[in-house]
Amino acid sequence: MAKYVSLISTRFLFLLCSFFVLCFNNGGLPFLYYIERYTTPVLQSFIPWFAAKYLNLPEPITVFTNGSGDTTYNYVLLLCVLLIALFGTFIWSILDRKRKSHDQLFYWLTVLLRFYVGFMLVHYAIAKLNEGQFPSLYLSQLSTTYGESSPMGLAWRFLGFSEGYKWFMFTAELMGVLLFFRRTATIGAFLCLMTSANIMAINYFFDVPVKIISTALVVMCLIILSPNIINLIRFFFKGELVKLNQLKAPIFKAKWVRISKLVLKYAAVLLYAGAALTMALKTALFDKKVDDKSPVYGAYKIESLKTEKKDSIPDSSFLSRKWKLMIFDRNTYAQIHYNNDETAWCTYGVDSVSKSISIAFTDDPKVNYTLNYKFADSNKLILSGNLFGTPATIILNKQKYILTERKFRWINEHPYNR
């Protein structure tokens, strides 16, 4: 009985994981992109039809995989993958009912999962560098209250705050490299299980819409570890001496096949992991950092806003409402906060030669307002020029944030918890 359960479960897992990797690649195996170019349009036609015909959903599926990997489309696709795996296992078991062992099939399953999880985590690691997945905090984010943050936004700001912690996450996820080699696959899967479980927990409890993929990574790590789970329990919980079970790779008699397998493996590792990792580390450690902060960078409280025009200012102009905070952020982003908690987004450019700022509001991007700027002191900025058809002078005082001002220190006589 146990033999049949093992055979059926191996077939099911092989089919389930194979179709999952193909349908939810997410950059895990980059070379599958060439297949996805043809399969994705077919799936995006089939899945909405299947959902409308058999699932009786309240709304038709019109949103596909985007920044969210947990769309209705994704969950219906996952259901279809599960149904295909179940049906395929049933047919396979009937046609191959005399099979006595699936050792080689399980080996190739672990190879697939090792490289999928390995590439995925290495790419996640690379994303931690160079202002990638978790960029440093923008001033507009620092001026947002906790209550105005989404759970995902709160998590992203927490993780993006610390450069040191991003390097720690990079190191943890880089352990995916150990999965590329059979001798280190067990320790690699063990470490990647911890890392993937943490990713999954963040995605679950901070409502990050990558729950399907992160859950799959945890399950895949467990499958890779499955031949040694009992031994690991005996070692860690009973203190017994154990020997890890190492899956035997198929032996190919033809020399050219053996050489081709090695060349293909190392070419894939170097091309899809090594090259990207080397470039990311070179940029992070050796390339000159690009300063995306302008001379007027900062968040400023409005001390005064004076207009010289005696006519009343129309409500359509932003000057008719009281300004509270003006932010010149990184790159070209600017923001204005009003006392009524409204926010206006702008883009801006600085000409440091003429000491002028060009501002365009995003609701009317074709109209630019040019203001001259000067610093009365290191914390006071004065803007003067024409805004909405009226001469205006704005005096601003730089806002400081404890979160970015307070640096690391070894000694703390008292907790500084605010």
Closest listed residue to residue 102, CA positions, set 206, 247, 240: 247
User: Does residue 312 have a pLDDT over 60?
Assistant: no
Residue 394: strand pairing partners: 305, 383
Q: Place 315 in a pLDDT band, splitting at 50, 70 and 90.
A: low
**Helix, strand or coil, per DSSP, at residue 197:** helix
Tens of pLDDT, residues 374-389: 999 989 999 999 887 7
* Straight-line distance from the first to the last Cα atom of the chain, in angstroms, rounded to the nearest whole number: 61
B/e letters for 118-133, b = 16+ CB within 10 Å, e = fewer, are bbbbbbbbbbbbbbeb
Sign of CA dihedral 133, 139, 142, 143: negative
Q: Considering the entire predicted model, what is its pTM?
A: 0.90
Using CB atoms within 10 Å of the CB of residue 405, give its burial: 0 to 12 exposed, 13 to 18 middle, 19+ buried.
exposed
User: What is the pLDDT averaged over residues 271-294?
Assistant: 89
User: Does residue 412 have a pLDDT over 60?
Assistant: yes
Q: What is the mean pLDDT of the chain?
A: 91
Distant-in-sequence, close-in-space partners of 402: CB < 8 Å, separation ≥ 6: 418
Q: Place 255 in a pLDDT band, splitting at 50, 70 and 90.
A: confident
Q: Residue type for 313, please?
A: I
User: What is the pLDDT averaged over residues 248-275?
Assistant: 89
**Helix, strand or coil, per DSSP, at residue 266:** helix
User: Does residue 399 have a pLDDT over 60?
Assistant: yes
User: Does residue 320 have a pLDDT over 70?
Assistant: no
The domains of the chain, with CATH numbers, are 2-285 (no CATH), 298-403 (2.40.128.270)
Rounded Cα distance between 28 and 22, Å, is 10
pLDDT > 70 in the chain, percent: 97
Tens of pLDDT, residues 51-105: 999 998 989 999 998 889 999 999 999 999 999 999 999 999 999 888 888 889 9
Q: Which secondary structure element, helix H or strand E, spans residue 398, and what is its range?
A: strand 390-399
